Amino acid sequence: MPSNDISISVVENISQSVTVDASKIKIECNQKAASDKEGTDKLLDKSNNTKWVVNFKPKDTNLKLSFSEPIELASYTFVLANDKPECDPIEWRVRIKESQSLNIYEEFHKIEDYSAKKCARGSTQEFKMRMRNPKKISEVTFHFDKLKDGNAKMMQICQININALGGVVSNVASKNTTTVT
């Protein structure tokens, strides 16, 4: 996977953000990409001209991001591809694994207003985590349940960004895991 960047916001001052080398995030999907040019690495390349496209199986299409050291997840964003809006996800579950206890927490998220203006190609949809006390997590998994068109066989997203609280992850040597400072 080429070395790319992902933006992680520091929520102590929401306008601050640090850029993280995306090659240090381990990202996996349980379904096959539509082509070699549309793999999970496209989610982290910061381009609205590329996208991740995957064979979609309702309630059985999962995307997992693993972090080398824990982060406190505040929110995340999807940048929609929307050249084929029927393939955009509109409902999914977010599961996070707490790094110390290995407890798993789940939240349900969806795009409430899927209008042409709000969901145009390259539009950003932010989803805040609703946990009362943010937990240090080692991984986040997105379980996609539904696309805009319930009969679509492919799913697509341009980018994903993770927004974390405070100072987060550091000091990683292993390939395809996260370093955030």
Note the pLDDT of residue 49: 87
Note the pLDDT of residue 124: 79
Note the pLDDT of residue 154: 95
How far is residue 69's CA from residue 35's CA, in Å, rounded to a whole number? 31
Does CATH place domain 5-164 in 2.60.40.10?
no
pTM: 0.77
Note the pLDDT of residue 171: 26
What tens-digit pLDDT sequence spans the chain (181 residues)?
A: 333 333 333 333 333 334 345 656 789 999 999 999 999 989 988 888 899 999 999 999 999 998 877 777 777 888 888 688 889 999 999 998 888 888 888 889 988 877 777 777 677 777 877 666 667 888 899 999 999 999 999 999 998 887 776 543 332 222 232 233 3
Note the pLDDT of residue 40: 92
Q: Domain limits of the chain?
A: 5-164
Note the pLDDT of residue 33: 94
